[in-house]
Amino acid sequence: MKDLDVNKYIENIYHIERWGQGHFKVNQKGNLSTQDLDIYQVVKEIVEHNIELPVVVRFHDILRSQVITLNETFNKIINEAGYKGIYRGVYPIKVNQMREVVEEILDAGAPYHFGLEAGSKAELLSVLSLNHDKESLTVLNGYKDREFLKLALLGRKLGKKTVVVIEQYSELLNLIELAREMDVRPLIGIRARLSVVGSGKWSNSGGDTAKFGLTIPEILNALHYLRKNDYLDCLNLIHFHVGSQITNIQTIKDVVSEGTRIYTELKKLGAPIEYLDVGGGLGVDYDGSQSTHDSSRNYNLENYISDIVYGVKQLCDLEGVEHPNIVTESGRFITAPHSCLITEVVDKIDYRENEYKNAVNLNDEHILVKNIKELWRDISEEDRQESFNDALAIKKDGDNAFKLGVISIEEKAVIETNFWKICDWLKNKIGSMDFIPEEFENFSDKLSSQYLCNFSVFQSLPDHWAIGQLIPIVPISRLLELPTEQCSIVDITCDSDGKIDQFINGGEISRTLRLHDLKKDEPYYIGFFLTGAYQDVMGDMHNLFGRVNEVHVFSDDEDANGFFIETVVKGNSNRQVLSAMQYNPDLMAYSLKKEMDQKVTEKKIPSREGVKLINFYEKCLEGYTYLKNN
Ligand SMILES: *Cc1c(COP(=O)(O)O)cnc(C)c1O
């Protein structure tokens, strides 16, 4: 195949250019790269440093570039539109609270006075200590007790722009009471409950029955209350958020219209609101299909921003109301592309290869055994589909016959061996085609391999497990070579849900992913991409697989490889995950040692060996929770 064809073929399988959004491409060596930084080289260096896989790799340059692009595009469109307000975005830290991530976003956003958003006390404690810019906003959403509100007012005392967004009416009463006590003027935002409902998996943050926000009567009561108590001048933001990953641009248009109407009406009633906060929802095109599929979106950044800026402007002009400053709370867009999970395929699970060869000559061979043997003997290309259907039928009959005591375990073994031979033959035929022919699609599990990868879906890709979110998965090398294996991916947890059998496929979902065959002495690394939003913090310790190792990578023109690894954040040890579950690892080792001493005393185990084994146990306590490479 010519180079050009290979590139096309690879793009057709992995769609790198489409979901990569310019951040990722295949370089001349056939390795995946980001901004001229060879990801395969990065992983080689990680492995050379004895950092064990799986590992989260963070590309700080991508993080910075997302922040800059968001701000610059807003500024550009605000200019073009002749819009009178400014853009003042905030980053909602719940999307990824890693300190290094938040600090990098603040640093890249400093020229734009980019701020932060928090939704809980722990997050508020964090943003209060991180956001030192007196111009930028600190927006506080979520349910708030008096302690939360007091912390927010502490921020006001320090001169920070901490805006308390009222989610339920009682918060307003508490806030005003505390503000009086502390003698400080609060900045107040109100979250409006819109009637618009978002689309996609995260749509239930909007609509009349949403969990959050004030209804229109409540908003008017709030206005009245503030005026009566002399705090109306503190009302300076109106907020709405209808859910993350908005897939359809129409939802954004609707949200902006309804939200802006509330703003203009409140302004006319005398509320001195300066900021219109349209929340999050800016989507990420995980499958690269630019569609309204749940894992995609039918718009780009420019469309999104234009719809906001022009939408707000038009309504305000129509009603003769001042243009507000615009706030967005985009988390997913900023963080999703900056990190990926990289791990090794450790094995191919192939029950087919374990053929039962020792069958004694079965006299009086059962008809099912006879039939499947003939089927295998006479298999041919022309009637491959018929042969496969017959084989499936015999396999099923065989399963039943065995249950009913009609065939022996040995006969069942012969049937299965022949069945998998037929599947394997077919799999090899299909391996050289571009895709699994439609008639075999439903049986792709029988015609594909399972690649066992050293990671846990529950820890590293919770959204895939919980809500079927798709993410791009790509081998990070050998991308000038045609992959021949149709695969599904299984993780190392003991849970049958610990697998991936849904893959991006240009707006559709594919049950298998094409990967390369495994070579004996060459590790095969694959990457799970666009995982920087939500996945890092939502992961759980199912099976006690803990947090994974993490490296932070920066590009560097001076360096021979064009990059350097700045930080290594160690993942959990077995000791740590056990302690989190209330175990005392020292006591555990001690109790095992006592049992061992007993055996040694009884002379059942030589003392030297006993000591070695206990040392081994203790060493494992300190080790990584994932599989060790040999
Ligand atoms: C989660 C959340 C966001 C972030 O939304 P993204 O779609 O990730 O940008 C913004 N605002 C609020 C109030 C949220 O709850």
SS3 342: strand
Question: Which pLDDT score is estimated for 1?
Answer: 53
Which of the pair, 35 or 275, is modelled with greater confidence? 275
Average pLDDT over residues 117-136: 96
**100 Cα–ligand 1 center, Å:** 20
449 pLDDT more than 80: yes
Ligand 1 touching residue 323 (CB < 6 A): no
Q: Give the 3-state secondary structure of 448-477.
A: CEEEEECCCHHHHCHHHHHHCCCCCEEECC
- What is the per-residue pLDDT across 578-613, written as a single tens digit (0 to 9) for each? 999 999 999 999 999 999 999 999 999 999 999 999
**486 Cα–ligand 1 center, Å:** 37
Question: Which pLDDT score is estimated for 423?
Answer: 87
Could you give the CA distance from residue 625 to residue 630 in angstroms, rounded to a whole number?
14
Question: Which pLDDT score is estimated for 3?
Answer: 61
Mean pLDDT (the chain) is 92
- What is the per-residue pLDDT across 266-307, written as a single tens digit (0 to 9) for each? 999 999 999 999 999 999 999 999 999 889 999 999 999 999
Ligand 1 touching residue 331 (CB < 6 A): yes
Compute how many other C-beta atoms are within 10 angstroms of the C-beta atom of residue 129. Answer: 9
Instruction: Give residue 2's pLDDT band: very low, low, confident or very high (50, 70, 90).
Output: low
**241 Cα–ligand 1 center, Å:** 7
- What is the per-residue pLDDT across 314-349, written as a single tens digit (0 to 9) for each? 999 999 999 999 999 999 999 999 999 999 999 998
Q: Which of 165, 240, 244 to mutate to test the pocket of ligand 1 (most atoms within 8 A of CB)?
A: 244
How distant, in Å, are the alpha carbons of 132, 367, 419, 440 from that of 416?
68, 14, 5, 19
Question: Which pLDDT score is estimated for 585?
Answer: 97
Question: Which pLDDT score is estimated for 577?
Answer: 96
Which of the pair, 355 or 416, is modelled with greater confidence? 416
Could you give the CA distance from residue 334 to residue 306 in angstroms, rounded to a whole number?
18
Tell the residue number behind the tokens 């991936």, with chain if given. Answer: 500
Per CATH, the number for 1-54+337-541 is 2.40.37.10
Q: Which of 90, 241, 308 to mutate to test the pocket of ligand 1 (most atoms within 8 A of CB)?
A: 241
**177 Cα–ligand 1 center, Å:** 29
Question: Which pLDDT score is estimated for 384?
Answer: 85
Question: Which pLDDT score is estimated for 209?
Answer: 63
Ligand 1 touching residue 332 (CB < 6 A): yes
- What is the per-residue pLDDT across 44-59, written as a single tens digit (0 to 9) for each? 999 999 999 999 999 9
Please state, for a pLDDT cut of 90, what percent of the chain lies above it: 80
Tell the residue number behind the tokens 């939704």, with chain if given. Answer: 119
In this chain, the answer to whether the domains covering 1-54+337-541 and 60-329 adopt an identical fold is no
Ligand 1 touching residue 329 (CB < 6 A): yes
How distant, in Å, are the alpha carbons of 69, 263, 308, 521 from that of 301?
9, 24, 11, 44
Q: Top-level CATH class of 60-329?
A: alpha beta
Q: Hey, whose CA ends up nearest to atom 2 of ligand 1?
A: 280
**331 Cα–ligand 1 center, Å:** 6
Ligand 1 touching residue 282 (CB < 6 A): yes
Q: What is the DSSP letter of 214?
A: B
Instruction: Give residue 460's pLDDT band: very low, low, confident or very high (50, 70, 90).
Output: very high
4 pLDDT more than 80: no
Question: Which pLDDT score is estimated for 550?
Answer: 95
| Helix intervals (H) in 82-140 | 99-109, 121-130
The domain ranges of the chain are 1-54+337-541, 60-329, 576-622
Average pLDDT over residues 162-184: 97
Phi and psi dihedrals of 47, rounded to 5? -65, -40
Question: Which pLDDT score is estimated for 172?
Answer: 97
SS3 60: helix
Could you give the CA distance from residue 206 to residue 281 in angstroms, rounded to a whole number?
11
Ligand 1 touching residue 141 (CB < 6 A): yes
Q: What is the DSSP letter of 576?
A: H
- The crossing angle, in degrees rounded to 10, of helices 409-431 and 384-403 is 160
Instruction: Give residue 195's pLDDT band: very low, low, confident or very high (50, 70, 90).
Output: confident
Which of the pair, 506 or 522, is modelled with greater confidence? 522
**594 Cα–ligand 1 center, Å:** 53
Closest residue by Cα to residue 106 from 78, 122, 125, 126: 126
Prior bond of 54 cis (ω within 30°): yes
**336 Cα–ligand 1 center, Å:** 13
Average pLDDT over residues 116-145: 96
- What is the per-residue pLDDT across 238-271, written as a single tens digit (0 to 9) for each? 999 989 999 999 999 999 999 999 999 999 999 9
208 pLDDT more than 90: no
Task: Note the pTM of the prediction, 2 decimals.
Answer: 0.92
Average pLDDT over residues 211-226: 94
Ligand 1 touching residue 483 (CB < 6 A): no
Which of the pair, 177 or 538, is modelled with greater confidence? 177
The terminus-to-terminus CA distance of the chain in angstroms comes to 36
CA of 283, closest atom in ligand 1: 7
Instruction: Give residue 405's pLDDT band: very low, low, confident or very high (50, 70, 90).
Output: very high
Q: Hey, whose CA ends up nearest to atom 4 of ligand 1?
A: 280
Please state, for a pLDDT cut of 70, what percent of the chain lies above it: 95
Ligand 1 touching residue 572 (CB < 6 A): no
Question: Which pLDDT score is estimated for 353?
Answer: 67
Alpha-carbon torsion, ordered 155, 158, 159, 163, to 10 deg = 0
410 pLDDT more than 70: yes
Could you give the CA distance from residue 73 to residue 76 in angstroms, rounded to a whole number?
5
Could you give the CA distance from residue 125 to residue 89 in angstroms, rounded to a whole number?
20
Ligand 1 touching residue 241 (CB < 6 A): yes
